[in-house]
Amino acid sequence: MVKRKLRVLVLGAHPDDAEWFCGGTLARFAKEGHAVVIAHVSNGNKGSFRYTSEELGKIRRRESIAAAKVVGATSLTCDLPDGEVVVNVEHERRITEIIRQARPDVMIATDPNDYHGDHRAVGEMAAHCTYMATCPLYKTASPFLENLPVLYYCDTLSSVNFAPTEFVDITDFIDTKIRMMMAHKSQVEWIAARAKANARDFLAEEFKAVAHTRGSQCGVRYAEAFRICPAAGRAITYRLLP
């Protein structure tokens, strides 16, 4: 167990991904005094029956900042169009700059096997960009990192096709996770319209069902699941997750 205070970066594909997949863990990190940065690669400007893409992008940026404030986190964005996140040099450079701005000891990213193309691309680029962030000759606006961040992938939607290597007990933080998600009002409206259900009840049920399943696998009431990046040079012999 590492006792020092950490810098934690979560890299989601969309503005609400961090809250959805690991909001309880972020709340716990913050409660324990670690510095938390929540970043989203796309601006989430496609999911609405009500707004234009331009309007929605601005709304979701404000909501991301509000959600991060629930746990005292900082919010950053690459501001790429929703549904257009792909593995290419331009997007990798933007992500590398975000990593260098955040300067994390620990990074969590969406899984490269998740259901959404943006999620998969972010997961794939996360491994590459954490490494490139340490290379002095790979130039972005911010200086290179001295150390390679430890990279974890968070659970997939409904935990499909995800085999965890670690769990975090979020029993005391499930309500904070829901509160963080509810700050994404436009996305909650979009989800409710598609699900034809009360948004808060629908999300609370979804979050608690997944967290209860993961909790039952590790002996607690509610948990979130992660797996460490399965690549050479990435394994560690100590625990960094709370």
Tell me how far apart the alpha carbons of residues 118 and 110 are, in angstroms, rounded to a whole number: 9
Evaluate whether residue 37 is within a structural domain: yes
Name the H helices within 150-184: 174-182
Determine phi and psi for 240, rounding to 5 degrees: -110, -25
Evaluate whether residue 203 is within a structural domain: yes
Tell me how far apart the alpha carbons of residues 187 and 181 are, in angstroms, rounded to a whole number: 9
The 10 Å Cβ neighbour count of residue 139 is 12
Integer angstrom CA distances of residue 14 from 76, 109, 170: 11, 11, 22
**pLDDT computed for residue 1 by the predictor:** 57
**pLDDT computed for residue 198 by the predictor:** 78
Q: Give the rounded distance of the alpha carbon of 122 from its chain centre.
A: 10
* Short-list 55, 62, 114, 122, CA closest to 95: 122
**Domain total of the chain:** 1
Evaluate whether residue 241 is within a structural domain: no
Evaluate whether residue 237 is within a structural domain: no
**pLDDT computed for residue 199 by the predictor:** 73
Evaluate whether residue 156 is within a structural domain: yes
Query: Which H or E run contains 9?
Result: strand 7-12
The 10 Å Cβ neighbour count of residue 161 is 11
* Short-list 167, 170, 203, 173, CA closest to 185: 203
Query: 59 is in which domain, residue-wise?
Result: 7-228
Query: Which H or E run contains 152?
Result: strand 150-154
Evaluate whether residue 139 is within a structural domain: yes
Radius of gyration of the chain from its Cα atoms, rounded to whole angstroms: 17
Tell me how far apart the alpha carbons of residues 136 and 97 are, in angstroms, rounded to a whole number: 12
**pLDDT computed for residue 3 by the predictor:** 72
**pLDDT computed for residue 192 by the predictor:** 82
Tell me how far apart the alpha carbons of residues 136 and 146 are, in angstroms, rounded to a whole number: 9
Q: What 8-state DSSP symbol labels residue 145?
A: P
Does residue 78 contact residue 100 with C-beta atoms inside 8 Å? Answer: no
CATH number of domain containing 88: 3.40.50.10320
Full pLDDT tens readout for the chain, 242 residues = 567 899 999 999 999 999 999 999 999 999 999 999 999 999 999 998 899 999 999 999 999 999 999 999 999 999 999 999 999 999 999 999 999 999 999 999 999 999 999 999 999 999 999 999 999 999 999 999 999 999 999 999 999 999 999 999 999 999 999 999 999 999 998 888 887 777 778 888 999 999 999 999 999 999 999 999 999 889 999 999 99
Integer angstrom CA distances of residue 63 from 102, 117, 212: 20, 23, 27
Buried-exposed string 179-217: b where 16+ CB fall within 10 A, e elsewhere: bbbbbbebbbbbbbeeeeeebeebbbebbbebbbebbee
